[in-house]
Amino acid sequence: MSLIVQKYGGTSVGSVERINAVAERVKTWRDLGDQVVVVVSAMSGETDRLIALARKIQERPNPREMDVLVSTGEQVTIALLSMALENLGCPAKSYTGGQVHIRTDSAHCKARIRDIDGVRVKADLDAGRVVVVAGFQGVDDGGNITTLGRGGSDTSAVAMAAALNADECQIYTDVDGVYTTDPRIEPRARKLDRITFEEMLEMASLGSKVLQIRAVEFAGKYRVPLRVLSSFEAGEGTLISLEEETVEDAVISGIAFNRDEAKLTILGVPDQPGVAHKILGPISDANIEVDMIIQNIAADEATTDFTFTVHRNDYERAREILGSAARILAAREVLGDDEIVKISLVGVGMRSHAGIASRMFAALAKEGINIRMISTSEIKISVVVDEKYLELGVRALHDAFDLHLADSAATGSNSASN
């Protein structure tokens, strides 16, 4: 008998019909003899609706009250799903986060889980019940309701799985797994059977929005095997696990990209100790996150150029701040470009294979794509290119690293994706 935690997102519980379908699926697992804990999100659109309501009353709503409000979405679905399960003759019991002691810090609207007391849940499971828990919410030491940030139910499910020492945490969603890249850009993208936590983190942080990043971090830290699968179709989904357990020996697992990038350059700053700090200090003081950083070698041995990237939303502000730094440092000029994107190759196989970067650059060169910046980490190589080359670049790399379906080269179809 195994213990499984299943999480169903907003679209999977978006209507009464869908809630009934989820109940059927849960019952199937339980009938196989497994113990099942279900974590659910609010019905799709509900959290947004509640936030909009609050904004009609207060421009910047009180965060504590906001949590009291938005946590109601999940409370609705736990009750409805438990009823649907009972209807099918499957004993079930619902719990809010507070009731099963999902203890968090007090950072309202972005709380972090500290611990979960699984005693009550275990007792219900042992009594043969399915336990249905509200995702996204917890309770702080003062008994206040907290929420974990948008998409937080993923993290609730993983934390629950860790606390109960579950055999697997299954995230049911509207896609059937994690793909080599976004199928809307490359129709021949292939669903991965397996990927490591590290790779998934890179893919997620670069905009593959299948899972909340914090949930992946949590799963990696507590070694909770995580599976992403469709709640609408049958299939094995994608298993996210430790590297040792990953059998696929592909060098590259996927291609991630990020459209939300902008880059800033400051030209002709003195090549002296402390200059990087003078440029980037005020940027970080303004709470702007910097991603890639490049400092050129000084051509004239006295001055140097400095380029970095920020989120596109922070572009204008970062540019203003850099303008002030430029005056203080007597820099020559500040340049900016917010029509850029970042494309990254991700794969743990990079650690043991040489020549990946040059293969990447050759593929981009062949398409006439100019690389504006490059950065590398142990399992990732990223390039910044002009926005207009995003699709072309992703497809060229997908091709160059043979990531498409094995049979698609011959048939040109992706019908094998399940």
> Which residue ranges make up the site for ligand ASP (CB under 6 A)?
9-10, 41-42, 47, 73, 135-136, 150-153
In whole angstroms, give the CA distance from residue 107 to residue 40: 22
Give the residue, chosen from 5, 6, 9, 108, that forms a contact with Mg ion under the rule CB under 5 A.
Answer: 9
* Residues ≥6 apart with Cβ < 8 Å to 393: 257, 343, 364, 367, 369, 383, 385
Q: Does residue 237 interact with Mg ion by CB under 5 A?
A: no
At closest approach, how far in Å is the CB of 108 from ligand ASP?
14
Nearer to ligand ASP, 41 or 258 (CB): 41
In whole angstroms, give the CA distance from residue 223 to residue 313: 34
Other C-beta atoms closer than 10 Å to the C-beta of 345 total: 28
Angle, vertex CA 119, rays to CA 117 and CA 122, nearest 5: 125
Nearer to Mg ion, 212 or 309 (CB): 212
Nearer to Mg ion, 151 or 393 (CB): 151
Nearer to Mg ion, 9 or 138 (CB): 9
Considering only residues 301-320, where is the footprint of Mg ion by CB under 5 A? none
At closest approach, how far in Å is the CB of 154 from Mg ion?
6
What are the φ/ψ torsions at residue 328 (nearest 5 degrees)? -65, -40
Nearer to Mg ion, 73 or 151 (CB): 151
Q: Does residue 151 interact with Mg ion by CB under 5 A?
A: yes
The answer to whether 5 and 164 are in contact (CB under 8 A) is yes
At closest approach, how far in Å is the CB of 78 from ligand ASP?
12
In whole angstroms, give the CA distance from residue 104 to residue 20: 31
What's the distance, CA 191 to chain centroid? 17
Nearer to ligand ASP, 49 or 332 (CB): 49
Sort strands 35-40 and 130-134 into parallel, antiparallel or unpaired: parallel
The answer to whether 2 and 167 are in contact (CB under 8 A) is yes
In whole angstroms, give the CA distance from residue 204 to residue 256: 8
At closest approach, how far in Å is the CB of 150 from Mg ion?
8
At closest approach, how far in Å is the CB of 58 from Mg ion?
26
At closest approach, how far in Å is the CB of 195 from ligand ASP?
21
Q: Does residue 14 interact with Mg ion by CB under 5 A?
A: no
Stretch that binds Mg ion, among 127-135, 150-158, 236-244, 324-332 (CB under 5 A): 150-158
Where does this chain bind Mg ion (CB under 5 A)?
A: 9, 151
